[in-house]
Structure 1
């Protein structure tokens, strides 16, 4: 990221006529190049107003808005808006224009040549997962909600803007389609590296979509701004804690990887080993379960000491399925999901060759969470000391 913010709001405020209470009050905010900054907060806190101030759909009552160091409160607002892609919940496609014409709206305003516009429309439809041959000549009424939202994103990208503003873009879509579109958009962002300000009221969506999250209180007052993992690990006050809600610790496991854990030796036996070997290993470790592996050390099943103590002639009918296996890149949230489904209350980790590498158990998650909380608290203490 560039050391100079792509977008800088300098004590920006907005007070509507007829009221003395600002909708936005002295907001100072930086958005770095290539990041997704999510504005999240309760209804009426000024999230959408802040978004509209950035592209001057409404004029600020005070303060400055800088894009690439230029004070855009002093430039033509129409020209400014053509530099910024804008996606809203209601999509706002022009009903009497085809999909291709909708996407071409801003490029036409900018005077692009017809051939260039056609190439851009075809490229963007492909980018958002819509076959140009199938969709370019359709009208908005012929689309599903998810398809229309994809077209809305394509139209916002029409003139290849550096900046995108997204106001509850997936809020009016069913949960399954919403999750799919969120994933697709994050994939696109890895390719496009746009600077994005994203508004939502849903903290789970903010956690999923944001490189950073700004939790706003009344009048767009910033209560906490940081990465999702730090906010989950260390809410700075009761307002943030209440807004995040219950389960923040569990949500934080999404940002911790299995690779962050130090794998220790865990008892296992081969299907060629005698039962007595397994019992001895369990006695030494003080455990009830071990992992049965094959000749290549690939996990087969969980075996309990009670089964091994009976000295069966074969392991064929013994044990419990190990279930899905963990890799080093998997999240600890996924590890927890597998853990609660496991007969042994633990999840099995394999290396890149599929060989048994260890297990993840509840004590590992506890230590990882406490470490994340400690590091986040230390971060804020250092910030306060340097303020």
Structure 2
């Protein structure tokens, strides 16, 4: 077992009575402490069954499930579940209990005193972005879908479990609310660092939420398990490639950022009032058809074409066209690509926090980063294969 593994499944099997083939067959995997491992795969592959096996909502018919070096297939299942937070798509709030009572469910079972429970309820409502004064005494029917889902997460965190299981937790929510809840949960996770197994059928959600992703085939057979970056850069077989889709290259750009360690391509610039002939000469030297005009504080201002510069007309703050395609240092290459597509010069202008010019991202740079990611991922798997 890895020294940092919080959960380990060893040859776990689930076979239902009267069926010839198991729902889960000989599944072995580890979940590292403090990580989000996302199980993703087509409908019916056994990912939700796997989740329920971990907290023994259904009993395994073979193998071992180990939490913190303890084989939990041999412990009281009710006691086990109180150690593990559980969030489902349907939320499952108790309709006749207040929000505070819902969140207090497990702490109450554990015998916490009233004052401690009250403090915990208010703390968790604040953590998930709901004002305790406003929401603690409301009932589930008074909440929107997004608010109810937040309460579901708060209830799962009630007794401060080290492990959380999340089964399609944001699946029944509209896309805008879903995106906000995903962002909110990732923000909370940065602080709490729970060990989380997260089930989804949506590969984009898996890429966003997972520290690692396990792509499952039939009977929860692991087809590939790795970081989102490596899976996108190097799908190991046709099943994985088909599942993540043809846009995997573009999705991989979400994991590369423009930072001050990046050596960006030189690009011809000038300041308002500079000699147009000198600016034209700099543009011709790098085969550019545009020159970036900066203001006195080195902030990108306008694009001026070499054709316009060739006319010898002085460049002013109104010359050419406005620079619209800008990204800050720290932006992802996907954001840079989006800006590149609307740029007059087909580049994304990179600026520092104070708005001053840093450099430009060209399409050739994106190509280099994509090739580098693919090469690094391929070499990683070749090393793994050689050592196995």
Once the two structures are TM-superposed, the CA of residue 314 in structure 1 deviates from its matched residue by: 4.0
Q: Show the counterpart of 2:142.
A: 142
Query: How many residues of Structure 1 are paired with residues of Structure 2 in the alignment?
Result: 386
In 2, the alpha carbon distance for the partners of 1:152 and 1:119 equals 18
Q: Which moved more, 1:167-176 or 1:290-299?
A: 290-299
CA contact (8 A) 2:35 2:211 kept: yes
In 1, the alpha carbon distance for the partners of 2:314 and 2:299 equals 21
Once the two structures are TM-superposed, the CA of residue 352 in structure 1 deviates from its matched residue by: 4.3
Once the two structures are TM-superposed, the CA of residue 169 in structure 1 deviates from its matched residue by: 0.1
Q: Show the counterpart of 2:124.
A: 124
Q: Show the counterpart of 2:334.
A: 333
In 1, the alpha carbon distance for the partners of 2:351 and 2:80 equals 52
TM-score with structure 2 length normalisation? 0.98
Once the two structures are TM-superposed, the CA of residue 282 in structure 1 deviates from its matched residue by: 1.2
Once the two structures are TM-superposed, the CA of residue 133 in structure 1 deviates from its matched residue by: 1.0
CA deviation digits over 1:15-50, x for unaligned, max 9? 001101100000001000000000000000000000
In 1, the alpha carbon distance for the partners of 2:372 and 2:74 equals 48
CA contact (8 A) 2:214 2:225 kept: yes
Once the two structures are TM-superposed, the CA of residue 302 in structure 1 deviates from its matched residue by: 1.3
Q: Secondary structure of 1:90's match?
A: coil
CA deviation digits over 1:278-302, x for unaligned, max 9? 1111111111011101122211111
CA contact (8 A) 2:93 2:152 kept: yes
2:314 paired with 1:316: no
Q: Show the counterpart of 1:227.
A: 227
Q: Secondary structure of 1:281's match?
A: helix
Q: Show the counterpart of 1:99.
A: 99
In 2, the alpha carbon distance for the partners of 1:229 and 1:98 equals 42
Q: Show the counterpart of 2:28.
A: 28
Q: Show the counterpart of 1:133.
A: 133
TM-score with structure 1 length normalisation? 0.98
Q: Show the counterpart of 2:156.
A: 156
Q: Show the counterpart of 1:169.
A: 169
CA contact (8 A) 1:261 1:368 kept: no
Matches within 5 A, 1:53-72: 53-72=53-72
Q: Show the counterpart of 1:76.
A: 76
2:274 paired with 1:244: no
CA deviation digits over 1:218-246, x for unaligned, max 9? 00000000000000000000000000012
In 2, the alpha carbon distance for the partners of 1:147 and 1:179 equals 13
CA contact (8 A) 2:265 2:362 kept: no
Q: Secondary structure of 1:341's match?
A: coil
Once the two structures are TM-superposed, the CA of residue 353 in structure 1 deviates from its matched residue by: 4.1
In 1, the alpha carbon distance for the partners of 2:374 and 2:292 equals 32
CA contact (8 A) 1:55 1:84 kept: yes
2:273 paired with 1:269: no
CA contact (8 A) 2:163 2:195 kept: yes
Q: Secondary structure of 1:85's match?
A: strand
Q: Show the counterpart of 1:254.
A: 254
Q: Show the counterpart of 1:365.
A: 366
CA contact (8 A) 1:261 1:364 kept: no
2:384 paired with 1:383: yes
Q: Show the counterpart of 2:12.
A: 12
Q: Find runs of 4+ consecutive structure 1 residues off by over 6 angstroms.
A: none
In 1, the alpha carbon distance for the partners of 2:314 and 2:265 equals 30
In 1, the alpha carbon distance for the partners of 2:343 and 2:126 equals 42
In 1, the alpha carbon distance for the partners of 2:296 and 2:206 equals 46
Where does the alignment leave 5 or more consecutive residues of structure 1 unmatched? Answer: none
Q: Which moved more, 1:343-352 or 1:312-321?
A: 312-321
